[in-house]
Chains A and B, each alone.
Chain A
Amino acid sequence: MAKKLSKVASGIPGFDDISHGGIPKGRTTLVSGTTGSGKTAFSAQFLYEGIVNFGENGVFVTFEETPQDIIRNTKGFGWNIDKLVKENKWAFMDASPDYSSSVEVGQYDLGAFLARIAYAIKKVKAKRVVIDSVSALFTHYHYYRVVRQELHKLVANLKESNVTCIMTAERLLEDGQISRYGVEEFVSDNVILLHNRLNLHGERERTIEILKFRGLSHDSEEAPLLVSVRGINIYPRPKPKLRGKGFSQKTSTGIKGLDDMLYGGIYKNSTTLITGASGSGKTVATLHFIMEGAKRSVKSLLIEFEESPDQLYRNAASFGWDLKKYVDNGIVELLCHYPEDLRAEQYLQMIQDLVIAKKVKRVVFDSISDIQRIYNERKFRTFVIGLNAFLKMHDVTSVFTNTTSQILGVTEITETNLSTLSDNIIILKYVELGGRMHRLISALKERGSMHKRDLMEFEITEESGVDIIGPFKDAENLMSGFARRIRQMGLNKEEAERDFIAEVAAGKI
């Protein structure tokens, strides 16, 4: 009788998203990849998460590493497989090479291999099985025909016992044959590829790609895969459905005038990009946001790459804000690092851990440009997309700052690729006019909401921080960097323009 096709949640962060629910249930899935692509870690995590999160016991058949190696290597992920083995939840079937020599004389089958797997499944009442890797069988035995035939039998047996299985296979080359020895012929229904490529900057980059799940849906693009101190993390492309409840409620930016420009602030759960040159007031603006939340005991995380904690405290104190108090009482978490201190995946992990552990609802990242400076483009994008998707999933309202290279003139925000990821974009600018620098602020975009399109002038004062004075109407062409004063006070723009054209026509200008 044909069973209805369904999936079991893997529990591997991000995987159940890209796979639309997990690994095909009661069937065998081939996970193929080149050396170092993470096959063993991926499959071990499938078992581990199954036991820890879903109470589904597992059998790990290991051909290359010994059980002791696997236990030791996964200690770094904080796993205690040893304990799970003692509790009869995890069973190893050790098929790692032994060093007694063996010869082949005449015909044979792999009856003992099949019997041992069946025995191990029964012993721990396993629901999940991993075989790492089937390619090893082909190197152990002389007769491929026998190995093929026995693998067919194994897949049929596993189906019969209704366990969900991952078989790993070696791949010799990226973008070559799916697996060495054509293993995919035996378990062709479901194939996952793990990629491990050297990028143009000479760095290893891992991704995961679901090639096929017969009869079941899945994402079809590659997703970044990072191995962190907690095991494997997969970063799905942000999808609209990840927004959960979507935007409905607004929250204050902490700047009165800016809230007015945005008709009540920014949406909760949205991502805001504040872009501006060095010294344009970005950090102060983010402090407004943090302090506004902190005063209402909203847990916040402030990631700062440019200033030390003491500098920040002093900075905040100059506007009359006691940031230190909120950091000391745990309302505000402060992460101050040089961007070079940690790898991208470590940062992500650290931020994710903090957000989950402290139930953080506001995050400020000041500035994203510091990260961009040291990561290559793809890694940067992976990082930002991953972080953004995570924050949205956890209902966090985030503010990223971006430092533009030019003090005056045209602001190219698309250079960072950030504009499409941001729900809201706030531009801070300097404008030189009449021998004086003016500070301007404008809301370029607010997704899903009306906003005022006026350019506003603001000042940074000790009493109130960012203080928006009002629309800046004395000049035009401000955004182009060639500000021009509207010549006669009291005239409106159209009249001024008409006068201007007339003067040009008369040869006066």
Chain B
Amino acid sequence: MATKFLLKLYVTGQTANSRRAIENLKSVLETELKGIYTLKIIDVLKYPNLAEEDKILATPTLTKVLPPPVRKIIGDLSDKKKVLLGLDLTVKKKQFVDAV
């Protein structure tokens, strides 16, 4: 299946925030966007120039490059619902019903 979502996750080395963000994000992607996403994980300590290009200051920062518009989510992504909202993804109907 073709990639519909291009995502970048900026992290700083192996900090607790970085590890948590990677775990949280992977779990969201595997349940919600399985097979239609590409994720690049960028360590700003190794690639500060990439952080410069994307004007990243905080880590972790998740950017959604595709589909437009570009979105940025800062933090360890510990709230799944907010992550989905931040990526312009509507929460699946099943979950919505569950929540009600």
Question: What sequence of 0s and 1s flags, for each residue 76-87 of chain B, a beta carbon within 8 Å of any chain A beta carbon?
Answer: 111100110110
B75 touches A112 (CB 8 A): no
A111 touches B75 (CB 8 A): no
Question: What sequence of 0s and 1s flags, for each residue 94-113 of chain A, a beta carbon within 8 Å of any chain B beta carbon?
Answer: 11001011111111111111
Residues of A within 8 A of B (CB): 93-95, 98, 100-113, 115-116, 118-120, 140-141
Main secondary structure of the interface of A (DSSP, over half): mixed
B17 touches A113 (CB 8 A): no
B74 touches A108 (CB 8 A): yes
Residues of B within 8 A of A (CB): 10-13, 15, 17, 20-21, 24, 44-45, 48-49, 51-52, 55-61, 69-79, 82-83, 85-86
Main secondary structure of the interface of B (DSSP, over half): mixed
A-B contact count (CB 8 A): 105
Partner of B77, one of A101, A106, A112: A106
Task: Identify 16 new A-B residue pairs, CB closer than 8 A, beyond the known A111-B45, A112-B48, A115-B12.
Answer: A101-B72, A106-B24, A106-B77, A107-B75, A108-B17, A109-B12, A109-B15, A110-B57, A111-B58, A111-B59, A112-B44, A115-B45, A116-B56, A118-B48, A140-B57, A141-B74
User: Would you give the shortest CB distance from A167 to chain B, in whole angstroms?
Assistant: 15
Partner of A105, one of B13, B44, B73: B73
- CB neighbours (8 Å) of A113 from chain B are 57-58
- CB neighbours (8 Å) of B79 from chain A are 105-106
B51 touches A109 (CB 8 A): no
A109 touches B72 (CB 8 A): no
> Which partner residue on chain B sits nearest A102 by CB separation?
B72
Complex-state Cα separation, A384 to B71, whole angstroms? 57
Complex-state Cα separation, A98 to B72, whole angstroms? 11
Partner of A107, one of B61, B76, B86: B76
* A–B complex contacts, Cβ < 8 Å, 30 sampled: A93-B52, A95-B55, A100-B71, A100-B72, A103-B72, A103-B74, A104-B74, A105-B83, A106-B20, A106-B21, A106-B24, A106-B76, A108-B17, A108-B61, A110-B57, A110-B58, A110-B59, A111-B11, A111-B15, A112-B44, A112-B51, A112-B59, A112-B61, A113-B57, A113-B58, A115-B44, A115-B51, A119-B48, A119-B49, A141-B58
B78 touches A112 (CB 8 A): no
A116 touches B17 (CB 8 A): no
User: Given A106-B79, A119-B52: A112 and B57 within 8 A (CB)?
Assistant: yes
B59 touches A109 (CB 8 A): yes
- CB neighbours (8 Å) of B52 from chain A are 93-94, 116, 119-120
Complex-state Cα separation, A106 to B13, whole angstroms? 18
> Which partner residue on chain A sits nearest B11 by CB separation?
A111
User: Would you give the shortest CB distance from A217 to chain B, in whole angstroms?
Assistant: 37
Complex-state Cα separation, A105 to B71, whole angstroms? 13
A103 touches B73 (CB 8 A): yes
- CB neighbours (8 Å) of A93 from chain B are 52
